[in-house]
Amino acid sequence: MEIGMRHLHVTVVIVFLLFMIFKTVLLLANKLELLDRIRSKTKVADMILGLLIVVTGIYMMTLKSGIESYLWIKLILVILAIPLGIVGLKRHKKLLALLSVLIIVYIYGIAEAQSYKFKRDHIEISNSGDVGKQVYTKLCVDCHGEDGKKGLYKAPDLTTSALNDEEKTLRIQQGKGLMRGYESELDQQQIEALLEYLNAL
Ligand code: HEC
Residue 168 Cα: closest atom of ligand 1: 29
- As a whole number of angstroms, the distance between CA 194 and CA 189 comes to 9
Q: What is the pLDDT of residues 20-45, one digit of tens each?
A: 999 999 999 999 999 999 999 998 99
Q: Is the CB of 13 under 6 A from ligand 1?
A: no
- Give Cα separations from 55 to 49, 148, 152, 177, 196 (angstroms): 10, 28, 19, 23, 39
Q: Is the CB of 107 under 6 A from ligand 1?
A: no
Q: What is the pLDDT of residues 158-174, one digit of tens each?
A: 999 999 999 999 999 99
- As a whole number of angstroms, the distance between CA 61 and CA 2 comes to 11
Within a 10 A sphere around the Cβ of 12, how many other Cβ atoms?
Answer: 20
128: pLDDT strictly greater than 80:
no
- Give Cα separations from 170 to 25, 101, 102, 121, 181 (angstroms): 44, 37, 35, 19, 9
Ligand 1 pocket test, pick from 144, 165, 187, 192 with the greatest ligand atom count within 8 Å of Cβ, gives: 144
Q: Is the CB of 176 under 6 A from ligand 1?
A: yes
Q: What is the pLDDT of residues 102-113, one digit of tens each?
A: 999 999 888 888
Q: What is the pLDDT of residues 59-81, one digit of tens each?
A: 998 988 778 888 899 999 998 99
Q: Is the CB of 155 under 6 A from ligand 1?
A: yes
Ligand 1 pocket test, pick from 171, 184, 201 with the greatest ligand atom count within 8 Å of Cβ, gives: 171
* 145 Rama sector, left if φ>0, alpha if ψ -120 to 50, beta otherwise: left
CA 172 – ligand 1 centroid, Å: 7
- As a whole number of angstroms, the distance between CA 85 and CA 82 comes to 5
Mean pLDDT of the chain: 91
Q: Is the CB of 154 under 6 A from ligand 1?
A: yes
